[in-house]
Structure 1
Amino acid sequence: MMTAPAAPGAATDTVLSLRGICKQFGAVAALTDIDLDVAAGEVVAIVGDNGAGKSTLVKVLSGVHTPDAGTIFFRGEEVRLDSPAAAREMGIATVYQDLALCENLDVKANLFLGQELRPWMLDDVAMEKDSWRLLRELSAKIPTLDVPVAALSGGQRQTVAVARCLLGDPKVILLDEPTAALGVAQTAEVLDLIERLRENGLGVVMISHNMEDVRAVADRVAVLRLGRNNGVFDAADVSSEDVVAAITGAADNVVARRAARRAATPRTEKDVP
């Protein structure tokens, strides 16, 4: 069994590591040599323009796509995520943008959908107890378990989706655009939810286009550009402008122009060693 290599600057409590992940669809290279580290109790935001490879990376981590090359390490050991079930059993849970909730069912039924407690018949008492435990851990603002999901706000629905995936006791949670199409109050509710996940010691990978949300909760920001790593930044120290420059490639252009100017500038005698 291979042991995860220590990456420069990586936390000692790293729970998930990617090294050299590649994924190709026909002639299109969706991911090329992707490296990523996620520590317990850390929120890592993955940002990038459309077509940068964010969705493909989430599907690799969730077991939907198997990488063509590279290595995935989970809790220090090399693993193979060849199906969504394998990822869930390993301890990687995914909440997709559409949430996959049944709007006609109530909160409790959605939480235990497909994983009902039934020693010999449905154990409603145990499921209700576990439901309230999960919602309290997330500081959820849901008054009753009997309300249909269709009657909940966007933030409350996101909470139900996250609480459902916590039933499997995951170590890493992937959130795909968790605040997309939400209002200000609902977005604040979801960001508070992400804070609760971090406080509970989970590693969180958040895909987002919203730089304000990223700066509000992320510890580190990983930029993807054209399927490649294009910078990992400490969220507390980097400006939104620098992140946007990495996303659009403007930072690369500045470096290239500076290098070109240096190469075109005639050298003087004092420049010669």
Structure 2
Amino acid sequence: MMQSATGEVDDAGGNNVPQLLVSVQDWPEAIAAIDANVDLLDFKSPSRGPLAPVSPTLWQRAACQMGTGTHAGSSNVPRLSAALGETDQARDVAASVPSEFAYAKVGPSGCGSRAELIRLWDQIRNDLSPHTQLVAVAYADHQAARCLPWDQVLMAALHAGMTRFLVDTFDKTSASSIQLLGWHGMARLHQRSRQAGIRWMAAGRLKLTDVMGFARHDCLPDGFGVRGDVCGGNRVRPIDRQRVDRWRRQVALCRNENP
């Protein structure tokens, strides 16, 4: 195993080591997720959209308290991630993301061409700290978001030199990413990501039982992103610490079974 400059553990052999990302909307939720030993702490405002940002004040608080170790007394220090929103909204807030954040992500809605998407990414990356990686996001329900399908987003990310990829859903009241792409689609996404040398994360209304489904279909991602299922199915409600614990244990089981 190798540890990156951001504190991330990379498997030099290329094996799957799934990480758990939990999205939180305020500091009490952040504390609960930290205490549950999540790997990535993602800040977003679920009542305002699929990737809507929280207040930059909350980003600053997370950067300060995580950096000084004054968070909840936990020995675990998760990497920080910021959702920036869609296109114009992301352009407005990207410069406010603290350099302590390992990742940021922008929704691709309305980007109907590769050139348009890459231009958006370039603008956001110019405003982010060089310590913060921009994650390429694809929506499984790309028609609803009026954007490119996942395979074209993946190829655009490869062209743009990006190394992180997330598949999510735009409409949080409809189908999950698995229902939209099917296991065959997820397996194809997994294979294409591996061929491109891009690490990918699965999100989009996932349920706990889906974790072992990825394992059974031999398409374990590098990480799982979850919000709604740790809130009892209603993503605008507070997260449930016990549900986060169950997710952490299930993801850890995948790690142990896929050494």
TM-score, length-normalised on structure 1?
0.39
Q: Which has the larger radius of gyration?
A: 1
With a CA cutoff of 8 Å and minimum separation of 6, indicate the structure with the bigger relative contact order.
1
In proportion to residue count, which structure has more strand?
Answer: 1
TM-score, length-normalised on structure 2?
0.40
